Amino acid sequence: MTVTTTRRGFLASAAATTGLLAIGISPKGAFAKAGTGALNPFVTIASDGTVTAIVKHFEKGQGTATGLSTLIAEELNMSLDAIKFEFAPSDPAVYNNFLFGPYQGTGGSTAMANSYAQYRGAGAAAREMLLQAAANRWGVSASDLSMQDGMISGAGQEAGIGEFVAEAAALNVPAEPRLKDPSEFRIIGNADVHRKDQDAKINGTAQYAMDLHLEGQMVVVIKRSPRMGGVVASFDDSAAKEINGFIQALALPNGAGVAVYADKTWAAFQARDAVEVTWDFAAAETRSSDDIRRELLAALDDNAEFDASSETDLSDTLSAIEGAAQVVEETFYFPLLAHAPMEPLGATIEPLADGGVIIHDGAQFPTSNHNALSQILELPMEKVQVNTMLAGGSFGRRATPTADYQVEVALAFAMTDRTRPVKLVWSREDDITGGYYRPAFAHKVRVGLDDAGKIVGWDHRIAGQSIFKGTFFESVIVHEGIDHSSVEGAADTPYAIPGMHFGLTDNKPATTLLWWRSVGHTHTAYVMESMMDIAAKAVGRDAVAFRLDYLADGTPDQERKAAVLRLAAEKAGWGQAAPGRSQGVAVHKSFGSYVAEVAEISRDADGYVKIEKITAAVDCGLPVNPDVIKAQIEGGIGYGIGAVMRNEITLSEGATDQINFPDYEPLRIHDIAEIETHIVPSTVDPTGIGEPGTPPAGPALANAIAVDGPRVTSLPMTNEGIDFV
């Protein structure tokens, strides 16, 4: 085996026995960590010419496997269909998300932004090395050769790339591999390429964590405390012993529940129903969601706990509003929300002959899994492997800083003799009632407008529950007490609005909380874009023109936001809605991307609202996979609209009231008649796309409803008298 590196950190290795060219990156300490001599690469090329992209971000449907493969295929001049992909093992030294720090994980719509340069660079380095190896063998200059569709040709010669793998691997890695010029792109930006993961998902062969059946496995389900902080006092499993296939029931060592083991899933569910648990609720949460709502709304009237505006004094904002010709004011409330990905949570721990384990998981945060298993099972890190499988959705739920369900399966496995695989399965009831919700938030905004209809002051108070405090991301996200995710999308708005001030008050969580597709933007975009609409209406201005007034400074940030707004308005026929239809608009920046959406609704004879069309415009930088981008905007809109229409999690004395889809009703096919997405061409490096479609969807709908109906400021809309067809 030879390994070479460069000052830029690209690394190549070849194992003579396997004939593999592997290009990865060399962070500090990679050699020391690669004790087996193996290098964890971004791309491998085998001696039979097989090219494999090693995808470091998991695939939950957002298109990462396709996207990262696209970067490799492009630089190798191959068709996307001709290369394979595999998910990367856990190795934060190589596969860290550099937007997260020394940590391997997917989230914050960072997969493409974080991988774009790395994967293109790795592909380009491989191309140059293979060409050089061919040039050396044929005694010609590499510049006389070209590589296309797995063949190297030129100077009267032609051969497959696999033939040069061993020789290429012995070469120095180019210090600055030449990336293709965007004018040469054939796959990046190509709207006609197809997803790489779709065939298996169409014929039923795709394997998710829920689908794993290992020889001898036990299924474990957990009977959890219905209230946060409740612990097992005692339990009685005598009735469970009557269930065929039941193995055992054991209290988790952390007291959080009783693990019920069975041979198969159905037996495990039945046995769990039969186990009677007596809970100790002495330290359990007792508040209801009504209590939380009262506390949050009351906090808006007090002085904010944290001042989230460094450049504006609250007193200046208040005096500007005091002197305004007109003041508009609204108070908003956002409930707890569950993520409810289609695949209920779960993972399997498989024991290995050497005493180590593999966790098979739709792993969004491999580093959290790896650390949690190493600690709980008292195994050195190198004895723990993470096998990342396809995930049946996530929307943030499979990524918890506490590795919640991976800890559960590790504790359940640790209580066995560790000879049989243990597969943890969550039911939908476990999912809906199981916490890790989008936190509840309240906002109160007062906007002062002068005689000319211009905003002169904006007093914005936010009260909510911090997602990041107490997690290992706290030092990155929380500054001077302010959890940035509580104010993102508001305090950092691109709108140039004078006299803007933001205050934040934290409320003690009554349940476990988590980021939910687009995190803080789920509520801040709704408030910002509702208030812009309310203000425009108050001064008799067009909603699009009014917004553009505050995006006129000529900064790239404002220009990009204005451009998507103009494009969505143009494509939607803004201002030209057919009789009986109403339009609403919203535009928002999140995760580095800009999305504007125009919602068009109608009402039937009974006043039921029908969402006729959402027209979206997106600028997410250079569009790598245009069709994936459209799919993410479509899905992001649906995810946001469904929640805004009719979803909420409520608590009674700390326990979740909703239990399954019938009372946490997902968006259905008839709910949105049409979505049309337009992509702004761009050469700027790619930014996020998994989340940015979600934030403007709710306020665009609310603004359309408000044209001839009520202004909905408390969600979900169905609680406020809005009925949908």
Partner 1 sequence: MTIELKLNGKTHTVDAEPGTPLLWVIRDDLKLTGTKFGCGVAACGACTVHVDGAPVRSCQTYIEDLEGSEVTTIEGVNSDAAKAVQTAWAELDVVQCGYCQSGQIMSAVGLLTENAKPTVADIDEYMNGNACRCAAYQRIRAAILRASDLMEA
Residue type at 528? M
Q: Please tell me whether residue 266 binds partner 1 under the rule CB under 8 A.
A: yes
Report d(CA 593, CA 589) in Å as an integer: 6
C-alpha closest to that of 398 among 467, 450, 323, 344 = 344
DSSP reduced 3-state for 616: strand
Q: Is 2 in the site for partner 1 (CB under 8 A)?
A: no
Q: Does 565 bind partner 1 (CB under 8 A)?
A: no
DSSP letter assigned to residue 416: S
Question: Binder to partner 1 among 256, 535, 639, 704 (CB under 8 A)?
Answer: 639
The distance of closest approach from Cβ of residue 197 to partner 1 in the complex, given in angstroms and rounded to an integer, is 7
Query: Which one among 208, 332, 495, 502 touches partner 1, defined by CB under 8 A?
Result: 208
β-strand pairing of 306-307 with 246-251: unpaired
Instruction: Indicate whether 203 belongs to the interface with partner 1 (CB under 8 A).
Output: yes
- 538-557 mask for partner 1 (x: CB under 8 A)? --------------------
Stated as kind and residue range, the H or E segment containing 463 is: strand 455-464
Residue 613 C-beta: closest distance to partner 1, Å: 10
One DSSP character per residue, 50-111 reads: -EEEEE-S--SSSSHHHHHHHHHHHHTT--GGG-EEEE--S-HHHH--TTTSS-----TT-H
Among 204, 540, 554, 579, which residue interacts with partner 1 (rule: CB under 8 A)?
A: 204
Helix (H, G, I), strand (E, B) or coil at 168: helix
638 binds partner 1 (CB under 8 A): yes
**206 near partner 1, rule: CB under 8 A:** yes
Interface pick for partner 1 out of 6, 38, 151, 211 (rule CB under 8 A) = 211
What span, in angstroms and rounded, lies between the C-alpha atoms of 76 and 83? Answer: 10
For 116, the token pair is 């774009």
Stretch 43-72 residues interacting with partner 1 (CB under 8 A): 60-63
Q: Which of residues 374-393 bind partner 1 (CB under 8 A)?
A: 390-393
x/- binding map, residues 308-347, to partner 1, per CB under 8 A? Answer: --------------------------------xxxxx---
476 binds partner 1, rule: CB under 8 A: no
- Nearest by Cα to 369 from 341, 396, 398, 330: 398
186 forms part of the interface with partner 1 (CB under 8 A): no
Distances (CA, A) of 500 to 82, 313, 476, 537, 719: 53, 9, 25, 19, 31
- The residue range among 15-23, 205-213, 561-569, 708-716 that interacts with partner 1, by the rule CB under 8 A, is 205-213
* Per-residue interface string for the shown chain with partner 1, residues 414-433, x marking contact by CB under 8 A: -------------xxx----
Q: Which is nearer to partner 1, 191 or 552 (CB)?
A: 191
Among 18, 198, 238, 555, binds partner 1 (CB under 8 A): 198
**What residues numbered 658-697 form the site for partner 1, per CB under 8 A?**
660-662, 666-675
Cα–Cα nearest to 590, from 530, 517, 506, 483: 517
d(CA 588, CA 525): 6
Task: Among 421, 448, 584, 642, indicate the residue that binds partner 1 (CB under 8 A).
Answer: 642
> Are residues 354 and 363 in contact, defined by beta-carbon separation less than 8 angstroms?
no
Site mask for partner 1 (CB under 8 A), range 504-543, x = bound:
----------------------------------------
Q: Binding partner 1 by CB under 8 A: which of 50, 136, 265, 331?
A: 265
Cα–Cα dist 430/587, whole Å? 36
> Quick one: 362 or 654, whose CB is closer to partner 1?
362
Q: Is 626 in the site for partner 1 (CB under 8 A)?
A: no
Nearer to partner 1, 178 or 670 (CB): 670
How far is the C-alpha of 383 from the C-alpha of 342, rounded, in Å?
31
Give the count of residues interacting with partner 1 (CB under 8 A): 62
634 interacts with partner 1 by CB under 8 A: yes
Judge whether 235 and 272 are in contact, CB under 8 Å.
no
Single residue of 87, 395, 437, 458 touching partner 1 by CB under 8 A: 395
* Alpha helices per DSSP H over 520-625: 521-538, 543-549, 556-572
| Neighbouring residues of 479: CB distance < 8 A, sequence distance ≥ 6 | none
The CB-of-523 to partner 1 minimum distance in angstroms stands at 20
d(CA 715, CA 643): 9
Binding site for partner 1 (CB under 8 A): 60-63, 194-195, 197-208, 210-211, 213, 244, 264-266, 269, 340-344, 390-395, 427-429, 627-628, 631, 634-635, 637-639, 642, 660-662, 666-675
